[in-house]
Amino acid sequence: MSIGVGLGIAEFPFSEVKSFWRWVAMCDDGGVNSIWQTDRMVSREPYLECMSTMAAMAGATKRVKFGMNVASAGIRDPLILAKQCATIDMLSEGRLLPAFGIGNITAPVWTATGRKTKGRGARTDEALDIIQQLWSGEPLTVMGEFFHYENATISPRPVQKKFPFWIGGSSPAAIRRTARIGTGWLAGLEPPSKIAPVISAIRTAAQDAGRPIDDDHYGAGFPFRFGSWDDAVTQHAVDAYTKRKKGDPKEYMGIGGAEDIIERARAYIDAGVSKFVLRPIATDDADFLDQTQKLIDTVIPVVEAMETVVPEAA
């Protein structure tokens, strides 16, 4: 099993686009495993659209992988989503990490588009089945509850023969969905204590379904900062987290020196995590780049050399 440390962004953190591309190049050259963009289509805050961001990265990088964290299959058209993923994987020569979820029930995109949240799980399941069938290259005809296609095919197909299919979400339905169709699982804003039982449940469900998931295909993320809990920028991140989630931010965030961030990663590894999406907490463009470079220099080599832990199935 291998541990990989990736980096992610949600709201666009840079004042200049050239700083974003400097950051991407830093990740590509610095041995970062992957880059992840949060999917949020309707917002007042600046969020990059995740699929077009993946396409742009395909042409701007040579080594690093990239994924969407996570693309809402409950709101997007599965034919378009399947075609986008296949195209990006081909143009990047096999570096896309597709990851899907049902979409946050509180996201404004539902109201903005006039779509109901009820049934979004069933809609997602139908969409994910369609996406996988389209990737097979065989013509698809389906008259489902939500989608109707007749003799639909896409080409080119994904370059990766075993195309990743990561699933997000921690609900019982998400656990069943991951076991049924996923090749990996990506956690949300959860501390290790919340993640461990989900991983255990997925492993049990996947084994029962006769399609066990690789032990190093369980991911999670947390914000980090080389600095202090008293920093104004850290306190802003803490306030944002506590408004969204219950629990102690100190069980979720990695704040302090390299040893503190490594310790936080170790807690996730002990919970069964082997893939990370870390998000820098920073004040401005220069600080964001500095935080990333420090992580590359002092944390990533240590974390990726750690041994993984396989928790017992539930």
The H or E element that residue 221 is part of is strand 218-226
Half-sphere exposure of 156 (CA within 13 A, CB side): 13
Q: Which two tokens stand for residue 261?
A: 């961030």
Beta-bridge mates of residue 149:
142
How many domains does the chain fold into? 1
Residue 36 lies in a domain: yes
34 in any annotated domain: yes
In a domain? residue 312: no
Q: Is residue 164 a part of any domain in this protein?
A: yes
Reported pTM: 0.94
Assigned domain for 313 exists: no
Residue with tokens 């370059």: 159
Q: What is the CATH number of the domain that holds 186?
A: 3.20.20.30
Is 125 within the bounds of a domain?
yes
Give residue 97's domain range: 4-304
Encode the chain (314 residues) as per-residue pLDDT tens digits. Answer: 699 999 999 999 999 999 999 999 999 999 999 999 999 999 999 999 999 999 999 999 999 999 999 999 999 999 999 999 999 999 999 999 999 999 888 889 989 998 888 899 999 999 999 999 999 999 999 999 999 999 999 999 999 999 999 999 999 999 999 999 999 999 999 999 999 999 999 999 999 999 989 999 999 999 999 999 999 999 999 999 998 888 899 999 999 999 999 999 999 999 999 999 999 999 999 999 999 999 999 999 999 999 765 655 55
Which secondary structure element, helix H or strand E, spans residue 62, and what is its range?
none
Per-residue model confidence (pLDDT) at position 224: 98
Residue 272 lies in a domain: yes
Does 314 fall in a domain? no
pLDDT score recorded for residue 276 = 98
CA–chain centroid gap for 7, Å, is: 10
Which residues partner with 168 through β-bridges? 186
- Phi, psi of 94, rounded to the nearest 5 degrees: 90, 40
pLDDT at 245: 84
pLDDT at res. 311: 56
* Structural tokens at position 211: 């399609």
Q: Where are the alpha helices (DSSP H) in 141-191?
A: 172-181
